Amino acid sequence: MQPEQELKQVRQVVEQCLKEDDRCTYDDTWLTIMGLRKLGIKIFIDYSQLKTMPKFETFKRIRADFQNRLGKYLPTDPKVREERMKKSEALRRFFATVKGDCI
């Protein structure tokens, strides 16, 4: 799936989750889990640990800080770098086109 298509699909799923489940409006972890479910991805998490586990984006942001700001632990696979560049460009284009739809 192309990055733009993936972003559109995830955006639709997120909107659906926000409309259908009030908890998704204030709990990003719950939103992520419900979104993954709607995408047909099966994950198994002890729900009693949801409140204490770190948010999914925390791991990504810290990894990005190591790599982007500190220049450490860069991906060794050139394909990963290329895919990240494509996704980054797609994100910029996507959010530039949906500005009117965002809050």
Contact criterion met (CB below 8 Å) for 37 and 44: no
Whether 102 has a pLDDT exceeding 80, the answer reads: no
pLDDT of residue 66: 86
Contact criterion met (CB below 8 Å) for 38 and 13: yes
Give the tens place of pLDDT for each residue, 12-61. 999 999 999 999 998 888 999 999 999 999 888 888 888 888 888 887 88
How many domains does the chain contain in total?
1
Share of the chain above pLDDT 70, in %: 95
pLDDT of residue 85: 84
- Name the residue range of residue 85's domain: 3-101
For the chain, what is the mean pLDDT? Answer: 86
How far is residue 57 from each of residues 54, 63, 94, measured CA to CA in Å? 8, 10, 19
What predicted TM-score, i.e. pTM, was given to this entire model? 0.67
Q: Residue 62 and residue 68: Cα distance in Å, rounded? A: 10
pLDDT of residue 103: 46
Whether 62 has a pLDDT exceeding 70, the answer reads: yes
